[in-house]
């Protein structure tokens, strides 16, 4: 496992749980709005050993109850399963953050009951993926991952970061692909100069898509009445 960093305590990354977030190194996308750019490639960045992380978690058992594995893209890690097994031995719940490009990995982890929650990013409407991800993406893999989550028995959420260029019609197109989903989260995207990147009206979005998915929520976004 290539581990680039950890966030020792998080109240927001795993719903209803106090968690530690483990950030893996490497990603197969290059989203222009990504705030974890140093984690995309394999350049010079601190490499934390699995043992160091596991030793830390062992000491934190009384204070946290979950571990979030994020990135980068965790499903690229060849020893992800072994790492999660070690985490589960300490009785932590495990949440996986993923872009959905490796459905077989997701399916395998679910079938072995190694993950308790999955947050899958849906970057854009399928016909605009390359524009937002910066790379060619196998949309069939994205669709397969969506199906695995919606038809399976693991808790999950889909989420979209409201990057500049995404409009109401785009969000509507995304929701058509996940119609009936348990949870859909709209996340704030801030420009690197500190300004808000996307002027889209969240209130209008929720009014339109509220009947398409079972629950719509926001993260880092204030909703006006």
Confirm if 41 and 2 have CB atoms less than 8 A apart: no
Kindly report the CATH number that applies to the domain delimited by 3-219: 3.20.20.70
Local confidence band at 46 (pLDDT 50, 70, 90 cut-offs): confident
In this prediction, residues 159-173 reach a mean pLDDT of 93
Q: What is the pLDDT of residue 206?
A: 86
Report, as an integer, the average pLDDT of 111-119: 99
Average pLDDT over residues 48-77: 97
Give me the pLDDT at residue 43, please. Answer: 57
Going by the DSSP 8-state scheme, the letter that residue 76 receives in this structure is: G
pTM recorded for the entire structure: 0.92
Per-residue pLDDT band for 55 (boundaries 50, 70, 90) equals: very high
pLDDT at 92: 98
Residue 224 confidence class, pLDDT cut points 50, 70, 90? very low
Q: In the prediction, which pLDDT does 33 show?
A: 87
Angle at 66 between CA 85 and CA 114, to 5 degrees: 30
- 181 has pLDDT over 90: yes
Sequence spans of domains, the chain: 3-219
For the residues of 149-163, what is the DSSP string, one character each? HHHSSSEEEEEEE--
CA nearest to 174, candidates 158, 190, 163, 197? 158
Is 69 strand, coil or helix?
strand
């Amino acid at each position: 496992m290539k581990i680039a960093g950890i966030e020792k305590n998080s109240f927001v990354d795993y719903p209803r749980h106090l968690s530690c977030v483990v950030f893996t190194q490497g990603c197969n996308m290059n989203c222009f709005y990504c705030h974890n750019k140093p984690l995309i490639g394999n350049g010079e960045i601190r490499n934390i050993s699995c043992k160091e992380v596991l030793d830390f978690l062992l000491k934190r058992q009384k204070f946290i109850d979950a571990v979030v594995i994020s990135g980068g893209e965790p499903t690229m890690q060849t020893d992800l399963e072994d790492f999660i097994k070690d985490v589960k031995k300490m009785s932590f719940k495990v949440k996986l953050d993923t872009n959905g490009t490796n459905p077989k990995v997701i399916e395998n982890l679910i079938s072995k009951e190694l993950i308790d929650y999955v947050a899958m990013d849906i970057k854009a409407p399928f016909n605009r993926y390359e524009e937002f991800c910066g790379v060619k993406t196998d949309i069939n893999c994205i669709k397969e991952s969506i199906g695995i989550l919606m038809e399976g028995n693991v808790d999950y959420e889909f989420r979209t970061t409201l990057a500049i260029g995404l409009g109401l019609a785009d969000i509507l197109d995304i929701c058509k692909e996940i119609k009936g989903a348990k949870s859909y989260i709209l996340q704030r995207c801030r420009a690197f100069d500190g300004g808000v990147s996307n002027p889209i009206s969240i209130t209008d979005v929720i009014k339109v898509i509220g009947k398409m998915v079972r629950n719509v929520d926001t993260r880092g976004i204030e909703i006006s009445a």
